[in-house]
Amino acid sequence: MTTNIPSNNEKPNKASGQDRPLNFLEQIITKDLQEGKHSQIVTRFPPEPNGYLHIGHAKSICLNFGLAERFGGVCNLRFDDTNPAKEDQEYIDSIIEDVKWLGFQWGQESNAEVKFASKYFDQFYEWALHLIHDNKAYVCHLSPDEARQYRGTLKEPGKNSPYRDRSKEENLAEFEKMRAGEYDEGACVLRAKIDMAAPNINLRDPILYRIRKQSHHQTGDQWCIYPTYDFAHGQEDAIEGITHSICTLEFADHRPLYEWFIENLPVPSQPTQYEFARLQLNYTVTSKRKLKQLVDEGHVDGWDDPRMPTISGMRRRGYTPRALRNFCDIIGVTKSDSQVDVGMLEYAVRDDLNDNAPRAMCVLQPLKLVITNFDEAGDGVESSGGEPTLWVTQPGHPNRPELGERKLPFTKEVYIERGDFTEDTSLSRKKFKRLVSGDYVRLRGAHVIKAERVEKDEAGEITEVHCTLVPNTVGANPPEGMKPRGVIHWVSATQHVNCQVRLYDRLFNDDAPDAGEKNFLDFINPDSLTIVDGAKAELSLRDAQLEQSYQFEREGYFTLDRRYSTETLPVFNRAIGLKDTWANKV
């Protein structure tokens, strides 16, 4: 495979199309390749299958796979599945799907297999025996509470376990009993023998193996002892020949332990760990525990709820892989923690959809217009199902001719947004650029019309607006004195698609919902979901496809919902509005 060594000014991400200097990881890799330290870089994305991936994982995915892609290397997708108590096949499947959806391929070949820590359990066990033989590991029977007391604090050193000086033979025998299932969970653990007085608490005789009498999703009931993440992680990297093991900053204090294992075991390679700042997004919660709580307690309707910061939730909402990859490139990669404004994510989504989403018209709160002189609509009126219809043409996208055109049925009765009409004639044209009694407005792509009179029900609610069209104004200006106030969207009242529209917004209305002692549940935005029944969409949307985004003119960007849509009633989710409505709230 070709090794790519970019210059410091070369464009690093084709998705964003923006030039920037190399980040610190790119600089490290460039230097390593130039000096011949590695002939090819190998990275990995190592999620624990204990929940769905969220936007923070998206940054890590884009970084690890992106570096491999950029430098002609390889990135492995590897599940660190060392805790069967919290893991599930559902999470594995969702993670694989998320990585594919973001556009990345693991391994060197297109059919490369997904890797699992559990595939190395036999090797981990042998290496645990190796440490025992070298008098660098021992079986400890302290209870969890006792172990915490012996561990010490950040200011005080720990003290040695009374089991620390067991003989090699005793430890081998005790470890075999652990494996044979002769001890209950929590009765004992295998610990590394390092230094109970080490300033770094992670080096104070950390746990290597604990007892978990639970079936594993990959190995079944083969094991009842499982390695800890700290013990397994570096060895997995070594087995797979990882050159640059990239973690988030919270693992910086674990790096000396990572290196201790590499130095004290006969591993086949010498990986190096590097840390970068994780993504911290305001108005967002990314703790897997808290996300699971939202799901389990019914605050959302699943891990893929479009309000969730999970990749599957954002996908269902209508965010695109391109938007997420661009966002991850915009925020960059640094060594210091900082908070990112969620508005940057929303900007990336809005910017992408503005450029790429086909246009369509959908009326959310329908108000019927009756065009009393429709017979003056001009040439081109056809009979559609026995109804006089003028087919008007609109571009699929104003700046993308390759997206084609839509033909829309313009009929005697059409729907407009209820909020696009008022009887208040005192409103100036500058203040209200829509339809006013006695005045003119243009229906998008069709005629200029004038509101003549209204009909109301017994409660005084307007049920119909009777209008007249100005002949010969499709694609042409009206005569002098009939200038329209503005342009509004519409759909035929007789030829349309009935649909439900779901208006999604930020799940939390506080910029730091889980900071300090806050209960994040107190800050759930009551307006995070508004369900609109009875919406009317243009006919082209009867062929709407899953994950195809559309701009509903003047409403926002929408996509077909994969869970609730049916053949008879499509459901459209709003991915994002046309403008940032939160800017004035904070």
Binding residues for L-glutamine: 80, 229
The structure tokens listed for 554 are: 């003047």
The structure tokens listed for 437 are: 């009694």
Tell me how far CA of residue 127 lies from CA of 136, 190, 221, 264, in angstroms. 11, 12, 21, 10
Q: Which of 218, 207, 19 is nearest to 113 (CA)?
A: 218
The residue count for the chain: 586
For tokens 């698609």, the residue is 497
C-alpha to C-alpha distance for 61 and 310, rounded to whole angstroms: 13
Q: What is the DSSP letter of 418?
A: G
Annotated catalytic residue: which of 10, 48, 376, 464? 48
Examine the residue annotation and report whether 585 is marked as an active-site residue of this protein.
no
Identify whether the C-beta of residue 464 lies closer than 8 Å to the C-beta of residue 411: no
C-alpha to C-alpha distance for 264 and 543, rounded to whole angstroms: 62
C-alpha to C-alpha distance for 499 and 536, rounded to whole angstroms: 6
Q: Is 405 left (phi over 0), alpha (psi -120 to 50) or beta?
A: beta
Q: Which of 392, 395, 469, 475 is nearest to 435 (CA)?
A: 469
Annotated binding residues for ATP, written as ranges, equal 48-50, 54-60, 248, 278-279
Identify whether the C-beta of residue 558 lies closer than 8 Å to the C-beta of residue 365: no
Identify whether the C-beta of residue 61 lies closer than 8 Å to the C-beta of residue 43: no
Examine the residue annotation and report whether 502 is marked as an active-site residue of this protein.
no
Identify whether the C-beta of residue 32 lies closer than 8 Å to the C-beta of residue 304: no
Identify whether the C-beta of residue 450 lies closer than 8 Å to the C-beta of residue 470: yes
Pairing of strands 440-443, 448-456: antiparallel
Annotated binding residues, written as ranges, equal 48-50, 54-60, 80, 229, 248, 278-279
Q: Go through 317-329 and write b for each residue having 16 or more CB atoms within 10 A of its CB, e for each that does not.
A: bbbbbbbbbbbbb
Neighbours of 378 (CB within 10 A): 13
Q: Which of 533, 508, 532 is nearest to 520 (CA)?
A: 508
Q: Please name the amino acid found at residue 328.
A: C
Helix axes 121-133 and 229-240, enclosed angle (nearest 10): 110
> In the chain, count of helices (H) and strands (E)?
12, 30
Pairing of strands 556-560, 571-576: antiparallel
Sign of the Cα pseudo-torsion (544, 545, 551, 552, in order): positive
How many alpha carbons lie under 13 Å from residue 376 in its C-beta half-sphere? Answer: 13
Annotated catalytic residue: which of 70, 166, 288, 317? 288
Q: Let me know the angle formed at the C-alpha of 578 by 541 and 427, rounded to the nearest 5 degrees.
A: 105
Examine the residue annotation and report whether 48 is marked as an active-site residue of this protein.
yes
Residue 465 pairs with which residues in a beta bridge? 369, 454
Query: CB within 8 A of 426, min separation 6: which ones?
Result: none
Identify whether the C-beta of residue 86 lies closer than 8 Å to the C-beta of residue 292: no
Annotated catalytic residue: which of 119, 278, 368, 418? 278
C-alpha to C-alpha distance for 153 and 111, rounded to whole angstroms: 48
Catalytic residues: 48, 278, 288
